[in-house]
Amino acid sequence: MHPMIDFKYARKRKELADLMQEKGIRDPRVLAAINKIERHKFIPDSALHSHAYEDKAFPIGAGQTISHPYTVSFQSQLLEVKPGDKILEIGTGSGYQAAVLAELGADLYTIERQKELYDKTTPFLKSLGYTNIKFYYGDGYLGKPAFAPFDKIIITAAAPEIPTKLLDQLKIGGILVIPLDDKQGAQDMLRLTKIGSKEFKREEFEKFAFVPMLKGQAE
């Protein structure tokens, strides 16, 4: 690649990290990850690459989108990731959110229901050198009981309800971050902290817009 192009995107990445800070993201490790990860590589249409460091969602195939950088930063910050945290992500998509969590030191399990995206994103993230991510094709509503309990669970699609199977797969003291559909076209960002086997502390944050969390897996 031409060095000018690299330089241009490096500057844009820094500007995006600065924008995230202006918008209220405080976790320095999240900001460092945004500054580091080459978001344009997660967007299949190269005509969009010069826009990849704007705070926008873009198509990634199979009718899905890469989330806004602010959304990714906000959810990542809410998870309070500590190195070695065992984290389950629902909705691998482009892999951008997964890369941010991997940069934060997560031991990540990520599930995608679209075969096309699973097939594309798995080798792509491996090619970037992330060895702390395990990829699964399937229905995220079911979670990954074989690897439970998790320290943290993050859902990156609009959930019509809070999946009880995922709550069961969370450690006591663990955190689940979920955009819960408000049935009016947007989602409320919730953070649930498990304080007993059936007891949760519930915090509600601002509204976001996600593609829907769907049941079952797509071919």
**SS3 label, residue 150:** strand
Q: How many residues bind ligand SAH (CB under 6 A)?
A: 23
Residue 75 to residue 145: CA distance in whole angstroms: 23
Minimum CB separation from ligand SAH for residue 172, in Å? 25
Site for ligand SAH in 84-103 (CB under 6 A): 90-91, 93-94, 96-97
Site for ligand SAH in 152-181 (CB under 6 A): 156-157
Do β-strands 150-155 and 170-181 pair in parallel, antiparallel, or remain unpaired? parallel
In the chain, the N- to C-terminal Cα span, in Å, equals 35
58 binds ligand SAH (CB under 6 A): no
Rounded (10°) angle between helices 69-79 and 96-103? 40
Q: Which of 9, 25, 67, 178 binds ligand SAH (CB under 6 A)?
A: 67
111 binds ligand SAH (CB under 6 A): yes
112 binds ligand SAH (CB under 6 A): yes
Cis omega (within 30 of 0) on the bond before 145?
no
Residues annotated catalytic, as ranges: 67
143 binds ligand SAH (CB under 6 A): no
Which residue stretch of 26-34, 44-52, 107-115, 182-190 sits at the interface with ligand SAH (rule: CB under 6 A)?
A: 107-115
213 binds ligand SAH (CB under 6 A): yes
Separation in Å, CA 184 to CA 27, 56, 114, 121, 215: 31, 21, 25, 31, 20
Task: Please provide residue 55's backbone torsions phi and psi, each rounded to the nearest 5 degrees.
Answer: -85, 70
Minimum CB separation from ligand SAH for residue 94, in Å? 3
Minimum CB separation from ligand SAH for residue 25, in Å? 16
Separation in Å, CA 87 to CA 11, 34, 50, 219: 31, 19, 31, 25
Residues that bind ligand SAH (CB under 6 A): 64-67, 90-91, 93-94, 96-97, 111-114, 117, 139-141, 156-157, 211, 213-214
